[in-house]
Copies of this chain bind each other. A is one copy, B any other.
């Protein structure tokens, strides 16, 4: 569908549009406009129109966008017209909290299992999910065709488990460990480090 190749930064905004549209739908709206979405999101309306134009023409001239229809299109574009199974590697503080996060299910994702190397945790269950030995990760990933992993182990261990996951077939990683993972180009990595955000903001807090 994309005629030109789509800038990554544009792709990154689509989930934002999805989120705003979902909120609108939940509040009963059936139509919206680039202007309304823009106010909601705090960005410019032209940007939204241009971003969407990379993927097709979804609006009705003079009327705006049908919320349900645009939602469906965006979901298809982002491959959210299916459910993505995920594993979490690391069953400590962060891993447990992420496993218990109720926000995944309704937005396209399902946490299947946790992995750890701590014998005290292996075999227990967290948030209703089994904790397996990290050595069984490759087998599990292959058996269940897992493409997505979240890494929530200490920084020292992160690179090694990331490589293990990738060698088993994982091709996208959401990394909570505070370091930069170095992985083959075909693997997508996104990072979450709250401290980075805080340190960014303190710059402005004279």
A: which residues have CB within 8 A of B? 11-12, 14-16, 18-20, 23, 40-42, 77-80, 84, 86, 93-94, 96-98, 100-104, 107-109, 147-148, 150, 155, 171-172, 174, 178-180, 182, 188, 190, 192-206
A180:B41 contact, CB within 8 angstroms: yes
Q: Which residues of B contact A40 (CB under 8 A)?
A: 180
Give CA–CA (A104, B15) in the complex, Å.
28
A104:B195 contact, CB within 8 angstroms: yes
Q: Write the nearest CB–CB distance from A72 to chain B, whole angstroms.
A: 15
B188:A204 contact, CB within 8 angstroms: yes
Most chain B Cβ neighbours within 10 Å, of A102, A178, A203, A205: A203
Q: Write the nearest CB–CB distance from A15 to chain B, whole angstroms.
A: 4
Given A98-B194, A174-B194, 10 more contacts at CB 8 Å?
A: A16-B180, A19-B179, A42-B182, A79-B203, A80-B202, A97-B97, A172-B201, A172-B205, A174-B201, A188-B201
- Give A182's nearest chain B residue, CB to CB: B42
Q: Write the nearest CB–CB distance from A45 to chain B, whole angstroms.
A: 15
Give CA–CA (A108, B198) in the complex, Å.
9
Give CA–CA (A40, B155) in the complex, Å.
14
Most chain B Cβ neighbours within 10 Å, of A16, A86, A201: A201
Q: A97-B97, A206-B79 are in contact. Are A174 and B198 (CB under 8 A)?
A: yes
A195:B15 contact, CB within 8 angstroms: yes
Q: A97-B94, A180-B42 are in contact. Are A147 and B195 (CB under 8 A)?
A: no
Give CA–CA (A159, B73) in the complex, Å.
29
Give CA–CA (A14, B94) in the complex, Å.
24
Q: Which residues of B contact A172 (CB under 8 A)?
A: 198, 201-202, 204-205
Give 7 nearest A-B pairs by CB, closest first: A97-B97, A15-B199, A190-B197, A172-B201, A15-B196, A79-B202, A188-B201
Most chain B Cβ neighbours within 10 Å, of A42, A190, A202: A202
